[in-house]
Amino acid sequence: EKEIKVSKTDPDSGYMIRDGKPEGFFYLDHRTVDMKYNLITDVHVTPGNVHDSVPYLSRLDRQQTRFGFKVEAVALDSGYLTTPICRGLQRREIFAVIAHRRFHPKQGLFPKWKFTFDAERNLYVCPASHELKYRTTDRKGYRQYASDSEHCKSCPLLNECTHSRNHRKVVTRHVWEDSKEWVRSNRLSRSGKQLYRKRKETIE
């Protein structure tokens, strides 16, 4: 179990460790800005060890309830690209644009996008055109798709695919991954690009 540091002088604060930020006990100030008039519409303070994405949906709902806002679209940085937020915005029918976050695979291995998901058959197809079939879903909602090690062990692309001892490649996909893909398509659309460009100009 992860140890949580607690300040002896200010136990309500949270111990923050972030790239490019000072390390220590802090609070975080989460703000929402209206893009049309560039006004701050919400301020919420949390301990420094609470990720920005955690209070987002509840603060969005609070503003809509309290002020009667009809939120049509939101533009967020990559820290908010989480599956629950994508799912929540899609279910609220709010057009969402969230910056892309790059995940670097192990050096020399294929990135995940090289594996094509076949929704109709509920499986992935690898760069060598072999199928990775569904096996199970873990407690966090990630479905696991695994290759056939008998195919993989003689595959010429094996060393670029996996370093596992059993020669089996496993790819995961969250049960709400469709919502994340919806956000990605928004970001790449013409209106999505305009929206995010405006966010950079008026908010940052």
Determine if the pTM surpasses 0.75: yes
Residue 160 has pLDDT above 80, yes or no: yes
Output the six-digit token pair for 106.
């192990």
pLDDT of residue 200: 72
Strand partners, 174: 142
pLDDT in tens, 103-157: 666 777 899 999 999 999 999 999 999 999 999 999 999 999 999 999 999 999 9
Strand partners, 43: 31
pLDDT in tens, 60-117: 999 999 999 999 999 999 999 999 999 999 999 999 999 987 766 677 789 999 999 9
Residue 204 has pLDDT above 70, yes or no: no
Residue 1 has pLDDT above 70, yes or no: no
pLDDT category of residue 20 using cuts at 50, 70 and 90: confident
Q: From CA 186, how far away is CA 136, in angstroms rounded?
A: 30
Cα 154 to the center of its chain, rounded Å: 35
Q: From CA 40, how far away is CA 127, in angstroms rounded?
A: 47
Residue 184 has pLDDT above 90, yes or no: yes
Q: Which helix (H) or strand (E) holds 70?
A: none
pLDDT of residue 35: 84
Helix, strand, coil percent values for the chain (each to nearest 5): 30, 25, 45
pLDDT of residue 128: 94
pLDDT category of residue 203 using cuts at 50, 70 and 90: low
Q: Topology of domain 14-102+178-202, per CATH?
A: Nucleotidyltransferase; domain 5 (3.30.420)
Q: Could you state, in order of their start, the residue ranges of all structural domains in the chain?
A: 14-102+178-202, 112-174
